[in-house]
Structure 1
């Protein structure tokens, strides 16, 4: 049975044809999420821009030279590619063996589409997290944001002008509030 081509195939066509409207739409819809994910996973804004650009180039090459046909939404697909690229980059920087080469990253199989579906559900969870996060007090948002950057907690405490003990206690309280609010929102839905 032939697989049904997803309507997001238009993004691949737009990339191949260098359609600036479609390419701008891709950047608008996807780059921020990739940037957030890479920042959350110890990367910089420059890292995110590089990974996103590399991911788009890989998709472009697959679409142009290997007739890639999209059977899932484009956004979770590009997020998956960039996520795998970033994880490989982290491994390279840690001087660990890289598990995937470029062809492995773009091997289109059922597991790729299952991963795309998984990423879509992760995206929904992220949206819920962000919605709830915005309801927290300013100090809690500040502490959680700084703590998620991956820096040593002592340095975070110093940056925020608080003691290490206070930071740990307050962070724990803020995370407990956040988790409680997320659970309450999931029940409401």
Structure 2
């Protein structure tokens, strides 16, 4: 059965040919999503930049030397590779066995495409959340950002210079506003 090459194969060709326009487009479309995902999963911005570069190099090598042909959209494929690379990095830091990503890329099955679709959906959800989050007031953004770090609320209240009771009430109001914004954005789509 012949594979249907996806239109996003142009990104692979652009990487192989070092096409500046295509490479810039990849960065514009994907870099912030990968940075958000990695920093949300205990990484730093530097980690995200390294993982992004490594993933692009892997895709470049797969395209140039192993004739990689995309049968799914490029963006979720790249996000999936970055996600796997970051999880492998976490395993290395924990001194756990690490899978060999180069070999994994040669055996892409249907489950990989399902994961890529799921990752693309997560990415859309993340974009929706951040879009609504950016519309919140500065104080709400600050409270939610602190709360997402997993700190004890007493510590957060102290750091923000407010009482514990005020923080709980304000956080509840901010989260309600955020949820309302996310729902209204979803309804507009």
Flag whether TM exceeds 0.5 (same fold): yes
TM-score band w.r.t. shorter chain = 0.7 to 0.9
- Quote the Cα distance in structure 2 between the aligned partners of 1:125 and 1:87: 21
Q: Which runs of 5 or more structure 2 residues have no equivalent in the other structure? A: none
> Structure 2 vs 1, CA of residues 184 and 115 (structure 1 numbering), >3 Å: closer, same or farther?
same
Matched, 1:2 2:7: no
Q: Provide, for residues 42-93 of structure 1, a one-character-per-residue CA deviation record: whole Å limited to 9, x for no partner.
A: 2111010001011111111111111110011111110111011112212222
Superposition map of 1:70-89 within 5 A = 70-89=70-89
- Quote the Cα distance in structure 2 between the aligned partners of 1:119 and 1:184: 23
Whether the aligned pair in 2 keeps the contact of 1:39 and 1:149 (CA below 8 Å) is no
Q: Which residue of structure 1 aligns with residue 69 of structure 2?
A: 69
TM-score by length of 1: 0.84
Q: Which residue of structure 2 aligns with residue 102 of structure 1?
A: 101
Q: Which deviates further from its counterpart, 33-42 or 17-26?
A: 17-26
- Quote the Cα distance in structure 2 between the aligned partners of 1:108 and 1:60: 16
Q: Which residue of structure 2 aligns with residue 116 of structure 1?
A: 116
- Quote the Cα distance in structure 2 between the aligned partners of 1:74 and 1:133: 27
Q: Which deviates further from its counterpart, 30-39 or 14-23?
A: 14-23
Q: Which residue of structure 2 aligns with residue 130 of structure 1?
A: 130
TM-score by length of 2: 0.84
SS in 2 for 1:61: helix
> Structure 2 vs 1, CA of residues 92 and 2 (structure 1 numbering), >3 Å: closer, same or farther?
same
- How many angstroms does 1:187 deviate by? 4.7
Give the paired residue count: 188
- Quote the Cα distance in structure 2 between the aligned partners of 1:104 and 1:171: 46
- Quote the Cα distance in structure 1 between the aligned partners of 2:58 and 2:170: 43
SS in 1 for 2:135: coil
Q: Which residue of structure 2 aligns with residue 186 of structure 1?
A: 186
Q: Which runs of 5 or more structure 1 residues have no equivalent in the other structure? A: none
- How many angstroms does 1:36 deviate by? 1.2
